[in-house]
Amino acid sequence: MAIHFLQPLKIPCSVSGLSRVDVNDLFIFLIIATLTIGCTKEDGPAVSTSLKDKALFGIGAAVSVAHLKEVDFSDAFKNSFNQVSAEYEMKMAHLWTALGTYNWTSADYIVNYAAQNNMKVHGHTLLWYQSFPTWFKNAAYDSLNFENNVKAYILAVVSRYTGRIVSWDVANEIFADNGTLRNDGIVYKTFKDPVAFYGRCFKYARNADPNVKLFYNDYDMVLNSAKRNSVKEMVARFKRVGYPIDGLGEQCHTTIWTDNIQRSSGFTDLAKTGLLMHISELDVRVNQNKSDSYVFTDADQQKQSDTYKSIAAMFESIPQVQKFAITTWGLTDKYTWLTGWWHPKEYPLLFDNNYGKKKAYNGFLEGLN
Ligand code: G3I
């Protein structure tokens, strides 16, 4: 393309103080600069290096107060995430110290931290069979008193954080892996119709905060069709009876050896409920044989990156209106429940022990639209 239109500008030198030669050079420089910027815009925005900036939905992580108080942890968290879940400090066992008595210290800290850093808070979890306080279990309440006390608890917790906690897991893990109701929990032992009890608890949470999003949370719903069908039946019953439910949280504690296709088809099936979807406790195990001599090889790091990418792409495959958030269950391999529950040699998260971004982080980024 001939550039015959580049006539030198007739700017009186005395005004500009520039020599004629300078003006031409400046003119050519401006042309080139405009062309370069023009080109970049056409090739789409520069690839964002931060998950929170690239994702068109929430990017969360589970944290504890002790870790938030560590500068390196807090910096890495703020730079990549815009949503927070409390790993354990918003559960009954931690909040409900006696009848009518609450320990708000840690939950308040996390909610204030989120407000100061422009983050959303997802409440985890109002009801969980593993988190009823010992004093409550020892009280052996009949169903009426059990429900009245739990109702008062839900009202106290949800109303305290109205407008500051945007969503709650009302109930967590009420189904066993064979799809039947978990029968080792105190709710199962107290109520003839436990699902109806949980449905009423969703209503109590809605009454406490008319705008909060209400979720049911569980693991392996995407891999386990028996459990998934039980959850879908519960959702259908809730809708029929009028118990409010807005979303489903698939925990997604997964591995590099899990079948990505099975996971994706299960997720797509779950999303057919039309509810908001939350990948709520994501981590990706790598040490399949729980080996004491396990080495996190380049090959396994790449498999983990591919797994995070496939999960991000799976999430992106559902309608935008159903995309609530993806939350990792922790931030750094330095602090993960898996070194206790699975094996000390585990590296399931996006940041290494020194808060360096792992291959997994870039895999996650690549999976986002
Ligand atoms: O940090 C305190 C420490 O100061 C104290 O000395 C010690 C002894 O009491 O407790 C420590 O807190 C423990 C915390 O983990 C940190 O290690 C809590 O007691 C313990 O209850 C807590 O366990 C949490 C567990 O849920 C039970 O609430 C795990 O962090 C958390 O990762 C795990 O998360 C669950 C999800 O809620 C539901 N899905 C499965 C997932 C993994 O089990």
User: Is any ligand 1 atom within 6 A of the Cβ of residue 91?
Assistant: yes
Q: Measured on CA atoms in the order 152, 153, 156, 157, is the torsion positive or negative?
A: negative
Structure tokens at 342: 């699975």
- Taking residue 162's Cβ as centre, other Cβ atoms within 10 Å add up to 12
At 227-262, the pLDDT tens digits run 999 999 999 999 999 999 999 999 999 999 999 999
Supply the pLDDT for residue 30: 67
Contacts of residue 253, defined as CB under 8 A and 6 or more positions apart, other chains included, come to 219, 281, 282, 283, 285, 329, 338
Average pLDDT over residues 181-186: 90
- The residues that bridge with 101 in the sheet, in sequence order, are 98
User: Is any ligand 1 atom within 6 A of the Cβ of residue 88?
Assistant: yes
Going by alpha carbons, the residue nearest to atom 32 of ligand 1 is 337
Which residue in the list 281, 316, 346, 366 is annotated as catalytic?
281
Please identify, by atom number, the ligand 1 atom nearest to the C-alpha of residue 172.
38
**Is residue 327 classed as helix, strand or coil in its secondary structure?**
strand
Please state, in angstroms and rounded to a whole number, the distance separating the CA atoms of residues 185 and 132.
9
Please state, in angstroms and rounded to a whole number, the distance separating the CA atoms of residues 302 and 369.
20
70 among known catalytic residues: no
Which residue in the list 173, 233, 250, 366 is annotated as catalytic?
173
User: Is any ligand 1 atom within 6 A of the Cβ of residue 281?
Assistant: yes
Rama region for 17: left / alpha / beta (φ>0; ψ in -120 to 50; rest): left
In 173-242, the DSSP E strands lie at: 213-218
Going by alpha carbons, the residue nearest to atom 36 of ligand 1 is 87
346 among known catalytic residues: no
Please state, in angstroms and rounded to a whole number, the distance separating the CA atoms of residues 145 and 186.
13
At 190-233, the pLDDT tens digits run 999 999 999 999 999 999 999 999 999 999 999 999 999 999 99
Structure tokens at 287: 């040490």
Q: In terms of DSSP bridges, do strands 96-98 and 101-102 run parallel, antiparallel, or are they unpaired? A: antiparallel
At 308-344, the pLDDT tens digits run 999 999 999 999 999 999 999 999 999 999 999 999 9
Supply the pLDDT for residue 184: 83
Residue whose token pair is 């044989």: 289
Supply the pLDDT for residue 37: 54
